[in-house]
Amino acid sequence: MTAISTLWNCDRHTDGEALLSELRTLGLTAIEVSAGAKISQFPGFRRVLHAGRIRVVSLANFSPLPIDSPVVGLGEGQLTSSTGALRERALDWTRITIDYAASLEASFVVLQLGPTGLRGVTRELFRQVRAGGLHSRRFVATKLDGIREREQLGEAWLGRARRSLENLVPFAAARGIRLALSGGEGLEEGPTEEEMTRLLSEFGRDGTVGYWHDFAGTQKKANLGFLDHAQWLTERRGQLFGCHASDVKWPDAGGCVPLSGMIDFETLMPLLPPGCPVVWNVAPRHRAAELRQMLPAWEERFSPGRMTAS
């Protein structure tokens, strides 16, 4: 199933019904409510939902955006913050997102657990790549130093992640919402692939917690040699709840319309389990004409019955 995130047009609308009407002109009726959706948009979302014109697949945390938060994404209000008070605020915001997900009859809340305390390593690696330094001695030294520093932060970060999930899992389960863990785009965000494996092993037994695959974020890490994209997706297939689909232009320009960049969707999409929701998570800079150009090709290639897993 192909859905689309409100990320693409969220900032252009205050009314949710108008926002969804624009998305429906693309031919898609399944949506994800993106992180940072405005609270003023939710009455319109409900009107369209109750009229049977859309299906809400997922909400990305935090949604709606807390009124006192100026930004979305990495910041102090995260579930793995080293400051207890900030972690508690993030838990409160996440519970609100879960309640909104239940009210919109969504299946999933997509969680980015948050920063690790490491800063700037991934950005520096991509700077060196753009300067032609991929696999140079300097690149390798920077990468190894970053990995060592990240490993030193890992157990403390995992402890904070576990405490947040221990709090959230029963809350979500009681409301029929599943929590989908999304990985970061580099060393600064968690979980790493090893940490994701551990968290899914610990929390994913009853089906409330699973994996959400970010094609663009994973490809960026693959471009730096941290993982093999197809191998990682294959390993997580049995725990996969859904995906964010956007493309990447070498080496780290993300948020692109799928099929317009370097990601090998022809190889990767058949690795998904049947019925897995794939949410187009396209940056607002792209025009509607670009999406309309690529969506028919996407549906032609990847609709059910047209893919064969290798």
- pLDDT tens-digit series, residues 36-77: 899 999 999 999 999 999 999 999 999 997 665 554 443 445
309 within some domain: no
Give the domain CATH number at 215: 3.20.20.150
Of 16, 223, 43, the C-alpha closest to 129 is 223
Sequence length of the chain is 310
Reported as a single tens digit per residue, the pLDDT across 156-192 is 999 999 999 999 999 999 999 999 999 988 999 999 9
Interior angle at CA 23, CA 239 and CA 178, nearest 5: 25
> What distance in Å separates the CA atoms of residue 98 and residue 208, rounded to the nearest whole number?
13
Task: Specify the number of domains making up the chain.
Answer: 1
Q: Say what the pTM is.
A: 0.94
Q: How confident is the model over 249-294, as pLDDT tens digits?
A: 999 999 999 999 999 999 999 999 999 999 999 999 999 999 999 9
Region at 271 (left for phi over 0; alpha for psi -120 to 50; beta for the rest): alpha
Q: What is the mean pLDDT of residues 131-139?
A: 97
Residues 72-96 have pLDDT tens digits of 443 445 899 988 999 999 999 999 9
Query: What is the domain extent for residue 226?
Result: 2-302
Q: Is residue 307 part of a domain?
A: no
